[in-house]
């Protein structure tokens, strides 16, 4: 068997990588082919200064893109060895992937890879059907396999207490005109290759909602079409909160999301309680877990929807310089 990555394999893997989720669909990543490997970089021009002043969201998104890249290369038969933050002098380089020993992909890798183009954020109300125990187990195992944890918020009083934290974080964020303006800038009412299409933004929030909607789409809600009364809320956490921990959490997030898609489940993300430091602390204390909450997911059975657009891979992929 041939060893090493081909340029075609790396390009195809980058096509999968850009399907990762990102705050407001900013797609804050770049990919660089170098010395037979591929590197993932943060794109500093795509940071959201008001929404993501620390760069946490960019690091989660780049970690998620990295997971897709790993998966695509493994499924192509040449898994990667990954080094996070490989060049200390270049902090924007998230990871470097070089070829490991070729092997046949595992069926589980193939299943998750097949889920990449089908995954999308489903912000609509879910059906009230509970998520069965085996699917819950698969989700928590997916986080664990990436050195993170996924805590399911179970029971009416725990979900209500979480709702309280999330709504209050939402109110804090909404007080900032810069935050609101930034969100508006990324809502798309005409076809575009980044940002959130208004039709994908979910219905208008209403006072009776347990969980806050971010307010992207503001689609009118049909009478009686309320959100599920007892959503499955899951909090993803990492052992620490360094930049590397956040890259690790992004990979775990994507593994959990693809596992949900592969299990026939819908999911949406809810990061207001992560973005407000006091809410994040409250959330951490309420869970009683070591480590740091990095993302909140709502999981359930949803109506079909459609994936959101992405920029063309050639816009984000730097090919090696060929010397003549
Ligand atoms: C760090 C991060 C935070 C996010 N926070 C939210 C959120 O609070 N509310 C929401 O509806 N979507 C949130 N999202 C989802 C993105 O808006 C979504 O991934 C992006 O618009 C691309 O759409 P897709 O997930 O359908 O591919 C978040 C995504 C990331 C990576």
Contact 88, 96 (CB under 8 A): no
For ligand 1, pick from 121, 180, 183 the residue to mutate: most ligand atoms within 8 Å of CB. Answer: 121
For residue 19, the ligand 1 atom closest to its alpha carbon is 27
pTM: 0.98
Please state the atom number of ligand 1 nearest to the C-alpha of residue 201.
11
Q: Which stretch of DSSP H or E encloses residue 41?
A: strand 37-42
Nearest ligand 1 atom, CA 52: 1
For residue 54, what are the contacts with CB-CB under 8 A and spacing of at least 6? none
Please tell me what DSSP assigns to residue 121: B
Q: How far is the CA of 182 from the centre of ligand 1 (A)?
A: 14
> What does residue 179 show for φ and ψ, rounded to 5 degrees?
-65, -45
Region label for 206, one of left (φ > 0), alpha (ψ between -120 and 50) or beta (otherwise): beta
The token duo for 175 is 């007080």
Residue 222: what pLDDT? 76
From the CB of residue 44, how many other CB atoms can be counted at a distance below 10 Å? 11
Task: Kindly report, residue by residue over 241-289, the tens digit of the pLDDT.
Answer: 999 999 999 999 999 999 999 999 999 999 999 999 999 999 999 999 9
* Bridge partner list, 235: 151, 296
- Nearest alpha carbon to residue 96 among 106, 107, 88: 88
Dihedral, CA of residue 28, residue 34, residue 39 and residue 41, to nearest 10: -30
List pLDDT tens digits, range 302-318: 999 999 999 999 999 99
The values of phi and psi at residue 4, to 5°, are 90, 165
The per-residue pLDDT of the chain, averaged, comes to 95
Phi and psi, residue 80, nearest 5°: -105, 150
What residues have CB less than 8 Å from 317, skipping those under 6 apart?
11, 14, 30, 31, 32, 33
Contact present, 267 and 298 (Cβ < 8 Å): yes
Q: How far is the CA of 210 from the centre of ligand 1 (A)?
A: 19
CB 163 within 8 A of CB 153: no
The atom of ligand 1 lying closest to the CA of 64 is 31
Mean pLDDT of 119-141: 97
Task: Estimate the crossing angle of helix 177-185 against helix 156-174, to 10 degrees.
Answer: 100
269 C-alpha vs ligand 1 centroid, how far in Å?
Answer: 6
Q: Are 136 and 214 in contact (CB under 8 A)?
A: no
d(CA 306, CA 28): 21
- In the numeric block, which tokens belong to residue 317? 């992929």
Per-residue pLDDT for 213 more than 80? yes
**Count of all residues that appear for the chain in the document:** 324
Residue among 20, 23, 238, 302 whose CB has most ligand 1 atoms within 8 A, to mutate? 23
Ligand 1 pocket list (CB less than 6 A)? 21-25, 57, 60-61, 120-121, 123, 196, 214, 268-272, 307-308
Mean pLDDT across 180-196: 97
How much is the pLDDT for 60?
Answer: 98
Q: How far is the CA of 23 from the centre of ligand 1 (A)?
A: 5
Portion of the chain with pLDDT greater than 70, in percent: 98
Ligand 1 centre distance from Cα of residue 24 (Å): 6
Mean pLDDT value of segment 11-18: 98
State the Cα–Cα distance between residues 86 and 96, nearest whole angstrom.
6
């Amino acid at each position: 068997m041939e060893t090493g990555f081909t340029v075609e394999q790396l390009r195809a893997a980058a096509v999968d990588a850009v399907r990762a989720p990102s705050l407001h669909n900013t797609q804050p990543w770049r990919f660089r082919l170098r010395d037979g490997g591929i590197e993932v970089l943060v794109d500093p021009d795509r940071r959201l200064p008001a929404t993501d002043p620390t760069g946490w969201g960019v690091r989660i998104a780049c970690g998620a893109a990295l997971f897709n890249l790993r998966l695509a290369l493994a499924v192509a038969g040449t898994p990667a060895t990954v080094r996070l933050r490989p060049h200390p002098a270049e902090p924007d380089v998230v990871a470097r992937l070089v070829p490991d020993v070729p092997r046949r992909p595992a069926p589980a890798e193939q299943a998750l890879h097949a889920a990449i183009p089908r995954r999308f954020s489903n912000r609509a109300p879910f059906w009230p059907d509970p998520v069965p125990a085996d699917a819950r187990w698969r989700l928590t195992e997916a986080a664990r396999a990436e050195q993170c944890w996924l805590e399911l918020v179970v029971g009416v009083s725990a979900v209500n207490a979480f709702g309280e934290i999330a709504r209050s974080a939402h109110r804090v964020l909404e007080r900032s005109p810069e935050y609101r303006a930034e969100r508006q800038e990324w809502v798309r009412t005409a076809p575009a290759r980044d940002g959130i299409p208004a039709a994908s933004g979910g219905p208008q929030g209403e006072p009776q909602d347990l969980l806050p909607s971010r307010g992207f789409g503001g689609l009118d809600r049909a009478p009686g079409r309320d959100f599920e009364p007892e959503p499955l809320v899951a909090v993803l956490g990492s052992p620490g909160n360094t930049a590397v921990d956040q890259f690790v959490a992004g990979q775990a997030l994507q593994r959990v999301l693809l596992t949900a898609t592969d299990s026939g489940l819908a999911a949406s993300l809810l990061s207001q309680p992560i973005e407000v430091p006091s809410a994040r602390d409250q959330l951490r204390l309420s869970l009683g877990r070591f480590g740091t909450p990095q993302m909140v997911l709502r999981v359930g059975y949803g109506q079909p929807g459609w994936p959101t657009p992405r920029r063309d891979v050639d816009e984000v992929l730097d090919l090696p310089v060929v010397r003549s």
